């Protein structure tokens, strides 16, 4: 069976690349719901339905463990999926998100003020603030929605993205850490680091592979069922020439195909 990675578009390929670099022996299945991109401006009901459909599709494609790389889907749908959907639909499958691992890293080094930049839906859910305060109740958390960034990244318009990064960075100058709370944002990591040289920028592509490796070590009942032939399958719900080029920049040898 496979390690599955789900995202609303192509941003999750960045995390998938970090998984493959750290654990190349496993079989991977990537699914991006690009037909409904971006999730960040959708209602909670639509996000839940899209994510549930994706889980069904990935389970049908033999995913044993699924990482919801999309922060928006994690914030809106993960709890329902873990507590209600999976127990009745596929109780032997594990579904994990990206928020808790990110929060665990964010509170390292005695952070006093943590910034979060994410999609509108993720910020609206306040999931990062909630989870951070569960660990450090006195922590100052600054949350900012950046609805323009995902469309700019998906359209390969990094000039526009740079302008927005500069604008949003002004809100985080007093933070000691900044969570890039969207799977697409690692592609803007250098821009944020340059704009905020005194702030520790927390990017999920740098932390998720070690978190997944640790999880598999602690759960041999899952790890033992994973295929180790180095197979890769990358699929999206809507495909065009532009998305193929974006994917090829990350994985030149693995074709992106329509589901």
Cα separation of 39 and 36, whole Å?
A: 7
Question: Which residues form the catalytic set?
Answer: 70, 182
| CA gap 97, 174 in Å, rounded | 28
**What is the maximum span of the chain, computed from C-alpha positions, in angstroms?**
48
Rounded Cα gap, residues 19 and 26, in angstroms: 9
With H, G, I as helix, E, B as strand and everything else as coil, classify residue 8.
Answer: coil
User: How many residues does the structure list for the chain?
Assistant: 259
Are 237 and 33 spatial neighbours (Cβ–Cβ below 8 Å)?
A: yes
Nearest of 45, 19, 8 to residue 204 by alpha carbon: 19
Please give the C-alpha separations between residue 179 and each of 36, 66, 203, in angstroms, as whole numbers: 25, 22, 7
């Amino acid at each position: 069976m496979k390690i599955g990675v789900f995202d609303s578009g192509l941003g999750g390929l960045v995390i998938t690349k970090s998984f493959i670099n750290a654990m190349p022996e496993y079989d991977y299945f990537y699914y991006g719901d690009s037909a409904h991109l971006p999730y960040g401006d959708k209602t909670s009901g639509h996000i839940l339905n899209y994510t549930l459909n994706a889980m069904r599709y990935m389970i049908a494609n033999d995913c044993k463990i699924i990482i919801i790389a999309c922060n928006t889907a994690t914030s809106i749908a993960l709890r329902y999926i873990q507590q209600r959907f999976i127990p009745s639909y596929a109780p032997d499958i594990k579904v994990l998100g990206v928020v808790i691992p990110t929060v665990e890293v964010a509170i390292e080094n005695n952070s006093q003020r943590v910034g979060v930049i994410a999609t509108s839906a993720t910020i609206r859910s306040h999931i990062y603030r909630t989870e951070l305060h569960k660990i450090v109740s006195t922590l100052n958390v600054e949350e900012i929605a950046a609805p323009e960034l995902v469309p700019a990244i998906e359209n390969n318009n990094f000039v526009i993205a740079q302008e927005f990064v500069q604008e949003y960075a002004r809100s985080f100058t007093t933070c000691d850490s900044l969570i890039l709370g969207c799977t697409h944002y690692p592609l803007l990591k250098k821009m944020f680091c340059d704009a905020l040289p005194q702030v520790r920028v927390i990017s999920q592509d740098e932390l998720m592979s070690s978190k997944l490796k640790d999880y598999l070590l602690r759960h041999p009942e899952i790890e033992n069922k994973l295929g180790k032939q180095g197979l890769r399958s990358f699929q999206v719900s809507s495909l065009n020439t532009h998305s193929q080029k974006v994917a090829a920049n990350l994985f030149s040898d693995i074709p992106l195909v329509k589901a």
